[in-house]
Chain A
Amino acid sequence: MKYRFTRKQLAIPYALFLLVFVIAPLVVIISYALTGSDGHVSLKNLAGFFSDPNTMGTLLYSLMLALVTTAVCLLIAYPVAYALAFSQIKRRSVILLLFIMPMWINFTLRLTALKEILTLIEGNLAFHPFLNSVIGMSYDFLPFMILPIYNQLERMDKSLMEAASDLGADRKQVFLRVTFPLSIPGVVSGIAMVFLPAMTNYVVLEMLYNSTYIMGSLIGSYFSAYDWHGGSMISLILLALICIFTLLGGGNKEENARGGSLV
């Protein structure tokens, strides 16, 4: 007798995974965040975060770092994706592979190499911590920006652009009025994939000798100081921020559904 799994049953493994590794930890984090060290429910941790110039400063520093990294990635990635998507080269996928290939190498290894290269160029790395962090993060996250933009541009209906030219638009107008607006879903999903990790990926900073904390290392430092409550609250605040960003950028649902984005 052949047995057929129903759709519900197929969802069981993931539901279990979700329950054990996503929902349960989240509940633990929330319960830690909303209690003080005495075990009573309080919002002290929340107030503490927003009134401390050090934690707020870290938030600002992380935001700035993520913003600059995203801008740099976008500036590099868009022209590349554009050139690739509209080029006449036969083996486009090979060239695309060249951009993705770095992702196959372990990223601490890549950063170690980058560290040596930057030392050759700059001499002493410690004089430019912010710049180095931006370079390291951009190096790391660039493929995540190129891919969605390329996918979006590649699947675009080229006849739309031809139509615009036929109707008298010059190349600049075609790009600004047709191509770019149509590629926005790819850009948005690229931004989401670069901006959010850039706020927390402290390994890059650590390896490139930037000793200022960002959100990720700040949370870690609270935990190693046994302040589970404060650390959980910062995680929760970060989660809330990410939700807000995603909601702000997530209005393109119908466009995303057409494909071309990774998120």
Chain B
Amino acid sequence: MKKRAFFLSMIFSVLIAGCSSSGDSADEGVVLRVCNWEEYIDLGDWDEEETIDLESGDIIGENALYEDFEEWYYETYGEHVKVEYSCFGTNEELYNMLTLGDEFDLVCPSDYMFMKLMTEDKLTAFSDGFFDEDIPENYYVRNVSPFIREKFDDHEIGGERWSEYAAAYMWGVTGFLYDPEKVDAEKMNSWNALCDPELKRQITIKDNVRDAYFPALAGLKREHLTDPAFIADPDYAALLESEMNDNSEETVDAALGWLQAAKDNAYSFETDSGKADIVSGKVLANVQWSGDAVYAMDQAEEDGFLLAYSVPEECTNLWFDGWVMLKDGVGADEKKQKAAEAFVNFISRPDNAVRNMYYIGYTSSISGGTDGDAVFEYAEWTYGAEDDEEEPEEYDLSWFFDRGEDEEYMIETSEDQITRQLFAQYPTPEVMERSSIMCYFDDEANARINHMWINVRCFNLERIPMFWRMMIALAILGAVAAFSAYRLHKKRSGR
């Protein structure tokens, strides 16, 4: 019998060893472990009809982009790389995965989360070679939009610039997606619409602390933020950013009140259901990220009605998702780092950026230019006016595409695109001026805001008058006592 137990334990240990060793297959070249948002890369398998026929050539996604990368990597460097691709649902989930010991080499968190990872010294900086524009494979540094590059160079945390650690992937702003037939466009100019009784139970708000705190700040500070003197200030951009990152105790307390009012007024807090609910007509307006708004507007169009997108006049939250390399994964392994950087470069090639944009619906940080104009052509291909359009409108995209060559980046588009998909995908320069990044808060401020957020959602006992609170407590105690007495009595009587 002892023998048998020994045998069993042998099987177990072999199994366990087998599981742990299947991860590394050293002779097969480098293994690159990539963790990205769900549905956030072109997974290929397009129909023939989906081919995007641009001037610079046809674009079609046959395989997943990371599979194409493996092939491209072998053709370019003559080495094998194997991409292990996995997904996460929220930034917090990714962070918990990292702290609980999951190892990845390359991940794609949002701005505040890679800031947090930077402060915790969990990231590996890009090599100098990555920024060398003369290396032909360095697509990222040559093709990233100058607007985005400037943001990544200007922002730093702990004395280190974002651009040293993070390569921009997708970006967007926040605003309202609404039904222009039933909601006055004027109303959608302020974040305070969330507390507007005329929209009672007709508007949804995002179900995560940062996307809810931002509108609260903007709504509370509306008068200050829309003051012409404030906007005219030469330091407007910096001042706006400090206002929108205000996490003092008084402000957080005020935000609690604002969000509780919004909770009593809104239809729901949602992460994903808002899009479906506005398309099916359950609600009239959503707080929505620009990329999701594009998707919802497309969806509504298919159902035969139009939705519009608006960015309130106080300000909007400009956000980025960026690729960062993890110290725990890449470490000092130069081969891995090379593969990781090559991955970023490959997906930053303009035609691949277009594939991603088509598949995901969000706006890529890549503007192209140096390696072809595919991205701009794609915008024109999607939103350009039809030939029979009577009065096409000029829409200026130079702020995003111009690399100082004084080239014109104008799209002739139909009038309604100016409040719709094109506007959500590439907002106007005026909107971008009032955009602000919401940074990573330090632990203390973070705890304060998180706690405020939990309190927004809880049923506060103080809503019940003192007298009734006492009565409820007595009733519960009474019920428990009566029940116990009954039990005891039954036991004693020995049935």
User: What is the interface of chain A, defined by CB distance below 8 A to chain B?
Assistant: 3, 53-58, 60-61, 63, 119, 124-127, 209, 211-213, 217-218, 221-227, 248, 251
Contacts and interface: CB of A to CB of B under 8 A. Distances in A.
B472 interface: yes
A209 B453 CA distance: 17
Contacts of A58: 458-459
B453 A60 contact: no
Interface string B385-419: 00000000000000000000000000000000000
Contacts of A55: 458
Contacts of A223: 96
A52 to B, nearest CB: 8
A56 B268 contact: no
B460 interface: yes
Contacts, number: 81
B483 A248 contact: yes
Given A127-B201, A248-B483, A248-B487, A224 B92 contact: yes
Interface in B453-483: 453-455, 457-463, 472, 476, 480, 483
A60 B459 contact: yes
A114 B259 CA distance: 29
A57 B201 contact: no
Contacts of B453: 221, 225
B201 A126 contact: yes
B267 A209 contact: yes
B450 interface: yes
6 contacts: A3-B4, A55-B458, A124-B201, A212-B459, A225-B446, A226-B450
A222 to B, nearest CB: 7
Nearest to A62: B459
Contacts of B458: 54-55, 57-58, 212-213, 218
B269 interface: yes
Contacts of A209: 267-268
Contacts of B492: none
Contacts of A60: 459, 461, 472
B267 A213 contact: no
B487 A54 contact: no
B454 A222 contact: yes
Majority secondary structure of chain B interface residues (helix, strand, loop or mixed): helix
Interface string B328-354: 000000000000000000000000000
A-B CB proximity, top 10 nearest: A225-B450, A54-B458, A57-B461, A53-B461, A209-B268, A61-B459, A126-B201, A57-B459, A126-B267, A213-B457
A124 B267 contact: yes
Nearest to A56: B461
Contacts of B155: none
B392 to A, nearest CB: 40
Nearest to B277: A209
A248 B480 contact: yes
B451 A225 contact: yes
Given A211-B268, A225-B453, A54 B282 contact: no
Nearest to B270: A209
A251 B457 contact: no
B11 interface: no
Contacts of B209: 225
Contacts of B268: 126, 209, 211
A217 B241 CA distance: 32
A227 B92 CA distance: 12
B282 A213 contact: no
Contact of B454 (A54, A127, A248): A54
B201 A54 contact: no
Contacts of A127: 201
A54 B464 CA distance: 12
A200 B450 CA distance: 21
Contact of A57 (B463, B480, B483): B463
Interface string B201-225: 1100001010000000000000000
A223 B97 CA distance: 13
B490 interface: yes
B16 to A, nearest CB: 12
A251 B268 CA distance: 42
B461 A218 contact: no
B76 to A, nearest CB: 41
A221 B267 contact: no
A181 to B, nearest CB: 10
A119 B280 CA distance: 11
A103 B74 CA distance: 51
Given A226-B92, A248-B480, 16 more contacts: A3-B4, A53-B460, A53-B461, A53-B462, A57-B458, A57-B460, A57-B461, A60-B459, A60-B461, A211-B263, A211-B266, A211-B268, A225-B446, A225-B454, A248-B484, A248-B487
